[in-house]
Amino acid sequence: MGDPTVYDVASKAGVSIATVSRVMNTPEMVREGTRQKVLKAIDELQYVPKAEALARARKMVGRIGVLTPFFTHSSFIQRMRGIAAALKNIPLELVIYPVDSTQRLEEYLSVLPITKRLDGLIIISLPITERDAQRLISAKLETVLIEYEHPSLSSIQVDDHFGGTLAAEYLINKDHRLCAFIGSGELPEYSMHPEDRRLAGFRQVLESSGIELSQELINFPAMSYKDIRKAFQRLMQLPESPDAIFAATDDLAIRILRAAHEFGVTVPQDMAVIGFDDIDMAEQIGLSTISQSLDESGRMVVELLLARLNDPTRSVQRNKLILKVIERETA
């Protein structure tokens, strides 16, 4: 067993690793009693945070890689911000490998394990094959996944289906009875497609409550404002237009709000809008949304990777992000 890690602290204190992370990064956000429990566990275990612990780890080349798609999308930028913040005081260079095609993904997964230029790898929202996983393991390149699961690799999961159920339950509790769904219709083949699971969870709760989600209420436009505006217009032209929309991402929701304004639809009086992600802009414009704690997930994945670098024999960890509804002005 290697040096104590954040997981040992969380277990001893009886809290989540996210709470331990908050105690170390934003202690003012943690209740006094909980904070004291975590600090007591840290003292008893003689837990040494990040930079100092890394000095005890195996010989390193000094680089952490991040394999990510959509690097310009708000949610990815925010998650990357959490990763960068967690590495701020650690003598490790952060190297980003943006993926823009299936071929590029395959190239990275073939080359990175054998170049020995990285100490660890974080893969965000990208699927990997069994062959890829075995190559990473054989090369002893410690790897942690976000939004994808493999039995031999540690991961942080987003329960997208549950996120969809949260959105539906929230809208139903607000007495909405004709709900629509808008997702992105241009997700590339090499990436994850979480919007399908968000739709499935949304549909399940609606139908169990006797509310039909007909096909005409489901739209997957391209991400351009022109296409999203057309999708919104189609909903407005239905014999009975919806009184609520669940947008699969906040980026979509923001464009929907602009379209609503153009068509003279008052939000939330005429129509409620709820998004998914809780990006920075959501708070600024008062967008109700499902939060997946993007910044915190970035910090969590770094903690998980550092734990494995300190002790490669540690068992595989699978953690789920806690999703929650953030109620603001739009729903």
- The per-residue pLDDT for range 132-191, each reduced to its tens digit, is 998 899 888 999 999 999 999 999 999 999 999 999 999 999 999 999 999 988 766 777
Indicate whether 265 pLDDT > 70. Answer: yes
Task: Compute the 3-state secondary structure of the chain and give helix, strand, coil in percent, each to the nearest 5.
Answer: 45, 15, 35
Indicate whether 308 pLDDT > 70. Answer: yes
Per-residue model confidence as pLDDT tens digits over 226-235: 999 999 999 9
Q: What is the C-alpha separation between 249 and 246, in angstroms, rounded? A: 9
Per-residue model confidence as pLDDT tens digits over 238-262: 999 999 999 999 999 999 999 999 9
pLDDT of residue 312: 86
From the list 121, 115, 274, the residue with the least C-alpha distance to 198 is: 274
Mean pLDDT of the chain: 88
Q: What is the C-alpha separation between 331 and 282, in angstroms, rounded? A: 12
Note whether residue 187 is domain-resident.
yes
Which residue, 31, 47, 63, sits at the end of a domain?
A: 47
Range of the domain at 273: 160-291
Same domain, 144 and 106: yes
Residue 263 or 313, more confident: 263
Same domain, 154 and 165: no
Indicate whether 329 pLDDT > 90. Answer: yes
When divided into structural domains, the chain yields a total of 3
Q: What is the C-alpha separation between 109 and 111, in angstroms, rounded? A: 6
Same domain, 87 and 105: yes
Cβ pair 78, 84 in contact under 8 A: no
Note whether residue 331 is domain-resident.
no
Same domain, 19 and 167: no
Per-residue model confidence as pLDDT tens digits over 47-81: 765 544 444 444 577 899 999 986 667 888 899 99
Stretch 14-26: mean pLDDT: 79
Same domain, 268 and 311: no
- 27-31, 38-42, 190-194: which is most confident: 38-42
Note whether residue 170 is domain-resident.
yes
Indicate whether 267 pLDDT > 70. Answer: yes
Note whether residue 327 is domain-resident.
no
Same domain, 204 and 129: no
Q: What is the C-alpha separation between 87 and 82, in angstroms, rounded? A: 9
Note whether residue 326 is domain-resident.
no
Same domain, 250 and 140: no
- 11-15, 22-26, 197-201, 312-316: which is most confident: 197-201
pLDDT of residue 103: 81
- Kindly indicate the confidence band of residue 270, based on its pLDDT and cuts at 50, 70 and 90: very high
- Kindly indicate the confidence band of residue 1, based on its pLDDT and cuts at 50, 70 and 90: low
Indicate whether 28 pLDDT > 80. Answer: no
Same domain, 61 and 77: yes
Same domain, 130 and 179: no
Lay out the sheet containing 318-320: strands in order across: 93-99, 63-69, 120-124, 142-146, 154-157, 318-320
Residue 70 or 109, more confident: 109
What is the CATH number for 107? 3.40.50.2300
Stretch 34-43: mean pLDDT: 81
Stretch 23-44: mean pLDDT: 78
